[in-house]
């Protein structure tokens, strides 16, 4: 390959950095003019046909799993060797590692802004997440080993809550914001043990339902305020996501709770909760169209389907006849088809609005 071949190829390779989908016909013309040999042109065509495959989300997932596995593995290691290591050494190691993570993030962070701030480097988000997890571990370990907060268990949850919310806003991290919201829910008592759920011994009180409903409403209000005040508006999705699930799940749970232990009707309060669910669903529907999010449309549809099906079944049980059973079967067939049609049309509407 001579000098006339090298220059176009170098020129082409530079252009490929900025225009990966560049039209190849220009180089076909260069080949016809004799500036590029057929062999070089075939190499250029082969390079142009190779499409890059992004590993962005795969790498992010692996790094996030690495942080979680590291924090979990250290916990298991400490638990199995606590007699030989000692509480003080463990606490000191956790504190130093946590301080190191926050110091690194403080030194590397970009200037604060109420808009979206990009991470200064690929490792920033994961170091911050590790630091927050280590801080939660430190406070929990301190309470479990020495009972620093005595019987004021809420304080052991409130301190990480403040640190997590501050870190989420100061360093602009959505993952830490999710941790903060989860910690807020735990501080208010909205938590369920996985073991009790699997054993079937979980007891859900009306106080827990009301707390979840009010917390969900507060999170939806925060979602609105972030956009209205233009203070970290990209945090709105996280607030809206948690708020939607908490409110709709509280309504569905309250509806099921209105049934006594024999599965018969105990009161008609489920109708009140169903009306509340309808109101919340209308709001979520409007927000889904506003933000062009099929995810919220899907979740609203699924929660609404469960609530509507519960009401229909309760009303059909009042008939106490075989006709009610057949009507219930027909309802589930028709409602499943109706839900699919609704989601298809909603998706088309969202795509249509996004093009305007």
What are the tens digits of pLDDT across the range 49-72?
A: 665 556 556 666 776 677 677 767
Query: 153-171 and 174-187 helices cross at what angle (nearest 10)?
Result: 160
pLDDT tens per residue across span 153-190? 778 889 999 999 999 999 999 989 999 999 999 888 87
**Percent of the chain with pLDDT strictly greater than 90:** 39
Q: Is residue 78 part of a domain?
A: yes
Q: Is residue 335 part of a domain?
A: yes
Q: Is residue 293 part of a domain?
A: yes
φ, ψ dihedrals at 259, nearest 5°? -95, 135
CA distances from residue 272 to 98, 242, 268, 276 in whole angstroms, order as listed: 48, 23, 8, 6
Higher-scoring residue by pLDDT: 295, 202 = 295
Mean of the pLDDT values across residues 199-220?
A: 83
pLDDT at 3 over 60: no
Tokens of 63: 């790094």
- pLDDT at residue number 24: 64
Contact 197, 228 (CB under 8 A): no
- pLDDT at residue number 90: 80
pLDDT tens per residue across span 225-278? 999 999 999 999 999 999 999 999 999 999 888 765 444 445 678 889 999 999
Q: Is residue 277 part of a domain?
A: yes
Mean of the pLDDT values across residues 13-36?
A: 60
Give the C-alpha separation, 60 to 240, whole Å. Answer: 23
Query: Do 30 and 99 lie in a common domain?
Result: no
Query: Do 89 and 176 lie in a common domain?
Result: yes
Contact 235, 167 (CB under 8 A): no
Query: Do 123 and 32 lie in a common domain?
Result: no
Domain of 165?
A: 60-187
Query: Do 163 and 111 lie in a common domain?
Result: yes
Query: Do 207 and 144 lie in a common domain?
Result: no
Tokens of 24: 């190849």
* Number of domains comprising the chain: 3
Query: 124-146 and 87-108 helices cross at what angle (nearest 10)?
Result: 150
Query: Do 216 and 287 lie in a common domain?
Result: yes
What's CA 67's distance to the chain center, in Å? 17
Give the C-alpha separation, 148 to 160, whole Å. Answer: 15
Q: Is residue 54 part of a domain?
A: no
Q: Is residue 348 part of a domain?
A: yes
| Other beta carbons within 10 Å of 51 | 7
Query: Do 257 and 180 lie in a common domain?
Result: no
Give the C-alpha separation, 139 to 131, whole Å. Answer: 12
CA distances from residue 186 to 25, 116, 247, 290 in whole angstroms, order as listed: 62, 28, 16, 31
pLDDT at 343 over 80: yes
- pLDDT at residue number 114: 93
| Other beta carbons within 10 Å of 188 | 17
Query: Do 349 and 225 lie in a common domain?
Result: yes
Contact 255, 307 (CB under 8 A): yes
Per-residue exposure over 193-225, b if at least 16 CB sit within 10 Å of its own CB, e if not: eeeeeeeeeeeeeeebbebbbebbebbbebbbe
Contact 301, 294 (CB under 8 A): no
Query: Do 183 and 205 lie in a common domain?
Result: no
Domain end point (choices 155, 187, 219): 187
* Block residue for tokens 């008609």: 268
Q: Is residue 355 part of a domain?
A: yes
Cβ neighbours for 87, distance < 8 A, ≥ 6 positions apart:
141, 145, 146
- pLDDT at residue number 190: 79
Higher-scoring residue by pLDDT: 133, 37 = 133
Q: What angle do CA 56, 235, 354 make, to 5 degrees?
A: 75
Query: 25-32 and 38-49 helices cross at what angle (nearest 10)?
Result: 180
Higher-scoring residue by pLDDT: 279, 269 = 279
Query: Do 305 and 281 lie in a common domain?
Result: yes
- pLDDT at residue number 323: 77
Q: Is residue 10 part of a domain?
A: yes
Query: Do 271 and 225 lie in a common domain?
Result: yes
Query: Do 134 and 207 lie in a common domain?
Result: no
């Amino acid at each position: 390959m001579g000098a006339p071949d090298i220059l176009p190829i170098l020129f082409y390779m530079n252009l490929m950095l900025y225009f990966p989908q560049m039209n190849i016909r220009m180089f076909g013309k260069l080949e016809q003019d004799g500036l590029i040999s057929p062999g070089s042109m075939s190499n250029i065509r082969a390079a142009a046909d190779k499409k890059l495959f992004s590993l962005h989300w795969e790498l992010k997932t692996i790094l996030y799993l690495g942080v979680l596995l590291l924090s979990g593995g250290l916990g298991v290691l400490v638990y199995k060797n606590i007699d030989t290591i000692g509480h003080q050494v463990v606490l000191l190691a956790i504190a130093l590692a946590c301080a190191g993570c926050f110091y690194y993030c403080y030194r590397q962070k970009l200037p604060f802004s109420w808009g979206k701030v990009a991470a200064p480097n690929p490792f920033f988000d994961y170091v911050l997440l590790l630091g927050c997890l280590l801080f939660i571990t430190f406070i929990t370990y301190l309470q479990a080993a020495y009972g620093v907060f005595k019987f004021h268990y809420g304080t052991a949850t409130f301190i990480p809550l403040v640190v997590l919310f501050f870190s989420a806003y100061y360093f602009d991290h959505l993952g830490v914001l999710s941790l903060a919201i989860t910690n807020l829910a735990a501080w208010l008592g909205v938590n369920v043990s996985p073991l009790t759920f699997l054993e079937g011994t979980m007891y859900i009180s009306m106080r827990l339902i009301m707390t979840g409903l009010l917390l969900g409403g507060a999170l939806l209000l925060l979602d609105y305020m972030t956009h209205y005040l233009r203070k970290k508006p990209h945090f709105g999705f996280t607030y809206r996501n948690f708020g939607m699930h908490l409110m709709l799940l509280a309504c569905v749970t309250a509806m099921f709770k209105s049934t006594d232990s024999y599965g018969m009707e105990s009161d008609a309060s489920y109708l009140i909760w169903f009306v509340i669910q309808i109101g919340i669903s209308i709001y979520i529907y409007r927000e889904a169209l506003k933000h062009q999010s099929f995810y919220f449309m899907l979740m609203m549809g699924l929660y609404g389907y469960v609530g509507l099906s519960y009401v229909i079944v309760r009303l059909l049980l009042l008939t106490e006849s075989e006709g009610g059973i057949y009507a219930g079967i027909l309802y589930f067939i028709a409602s499943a088809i109706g839900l699919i049609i609704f989601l298809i049309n909603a998706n088309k509407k969202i795509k249509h609005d996004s093009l305007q």
